[in-house]
Amino acid sequence: MESPTPNRAKKTILVADDEAAVREVLGDVLADTYDVLAASSGEEALGHFARVHPNLVLLDLRMPGMSGMETLAELRKRDADVPVVVLTATTSYQTAVEAMRLGASDYLAKPFEVDELRHVIERTLATQNLYNEVRYHRSNLQRPQQTEMIGNSPRMLEVFQRIRQVADTPSTVLITGESGTGKELVARALHMGSNRRDAPFIALNCAAIPENLIEAELFGHEKGAFTSATGRRIGHFELADGGTLFLDELGDLALATQAKILRVLQEREFTRVGGSRPIQVDVRLIAATNHDLQDSIRDGTFREDLYYRLAVFPIHLPPLRERPEDILPIAEHFLRSRTAPGQGPKRLSREAAEIMATYAWPGNIRELENVVEQLNILVSGEVVGPDQLPGHIRRRHAAPRTSDEVLSGNLSFDKAVADFEREIIVRALNETGFVQTRAATVLGITRRVLKYKMDQLGIPSRPTYTPR
């Protein structure tokens, strides 16, 4: 394992001990690595805790006035997650055990060695980071996703080369490309190729979060920050501390949120929603968008200064239709890896492979993955024939004959126009998550015109439509 990158943001440790000499020694030995706050009593420690939420508390159990046990109980009421290491006399192991039962993370018996102190602190903070990451991933459990990047086309070989060039650097990367091209796979490859590979990789789809909640997702919030904030929540920037934060569809963020992200990139710190203490983080940011951000800058919907902060090293992912030689290898990979339980791997017949290789795949790899998953479920035999492919793929394969059919009288002009309009509107809706305002913008029409066309063509407002 490579050594961590230097200049990591300092974490804050609160030392609560009634002995001035102990506070002074702990402050001296930890100051080079951590920001240290000192308190001489439980009451003072709680006051510091309310103002400056620390990453870890070193708590002496024997203090006059409010005891260490009472202080620990109150800390746990205020925050059940902050790690607390209790300091106890050598003869008071039973007290330390009781403190652990009440929620302490670890204990140190006085007198202790400096190396032992550092080891306990580092281990406790690492455990807390792991706990936060596991909790994040458990709350975002989804079906297994593709983790391997596949492609031998010249366009993809160029992408792989750029990934190798920038992976093991601290540079911010902007990944552009249509929806479904695999931008998160590139971000994960960048993370795994860096010296942050053993630290968290945290991903957030900005377009999937309502505007009024996005800042709480990014930066976290304090209890009472808004009506539904019943407790403190760690945000994605804090979860990714020491590792990589991937913000997908960053171009959808409001200007006010863009300004706050710019500040994090500049200052390496942020404040939780409803909080007052700046929190320092060391995060490598990787952003992705399916928008042309230069157009967004001209439209006034994206900050130019943030764009130049993000686009230090741009990587563009080509759509699948621009690298047709990769379609069948990716499809075969999905056929092997998405095999239904109790069935063997399937293969495409020559005719089915020809149809799939010439289809445009407007939804890119995501659409291809979904189609193959359907085939693995619906096809009982080992070979997928052309008639078993979804109807819209077979029709698209035959689409070049449409004009001939109109001219020969086999297809009416009105029907051909309606089919084209239906197809392009459904594609726009699929690519924008059926958000009609965004789909209308993509199509260059008003939302009212789009809704009229959808009603006229029988296209539902929710993503249940299958092209006919």
- Residue-wise pLDDT for 105-133, tens only, equals 888 888 888 888 988 898 888 877 777 76
Structure token pair of residue 468: 């006919």
Of 430, 315, 290, 440, whose CA–CA distance to 362 is shortest?
Answer: 430
> Which residue intervals of the chain bear CATH 1.10.10.60?
412-468
Residue 143 predicted with pLDDT over 50: no
> Which residue intervals of the chain bear CATH 1.10.8.60?
320-404
CA distance linking residue 436 with residue 25, whole number of Å: 63
The highest-level CATH class for domain 12-139 is: alpha beta
Q: What is the mean pLDDT of residues 447-463?
A: 80
Residue 464 predicted with pLDDT over 80: no
pLDDT tens per residue, range 166-214: 999 999 999 999 989 999 999 999 999 999 988 889 999 998 888 888 9
Residue 165 predicted with pLDDT over 90: yes
In the three-class reduction of DSSP (H, G, I as helix; E, B as strand; rest coil), residue 461 is classed as: coil
From first CA to last CA, the distance across the chain in angstroms is: 54
Residue 283 predicted with pLDDT over 90: yes
Cis, bond preceding 210 (omega within 30 deg of 0): no
Q: Return the residue matching tokens 């990591």.
A: 8
- CB contact at 8 A, 166 and 213: no
CATH 3.40.640.10 assigned to domain 154-318? The reply is no
Q: Which CATH number fits domain 412-468: 3.40.50.300, 1.10.10.60, 3.40.605.10, 2.40.30.10?
A: 1.10.10.60
* CATH hierarchy code of domain 320-404: 1.10.8.60
Least confident of 5-9, 171-175, 215-219, 407-411: 5-9
Residue 145 predicted with pLDDT over 80: no
- CB contact at 8 A, 9 and 269: yes
Name the amino acid, one letter, at 290: N
> Which residue intervals of the chain bear CATH 3.40.50.300?
154-318
Q: What is the mean pLDDT of residues 1-11?
A: 47
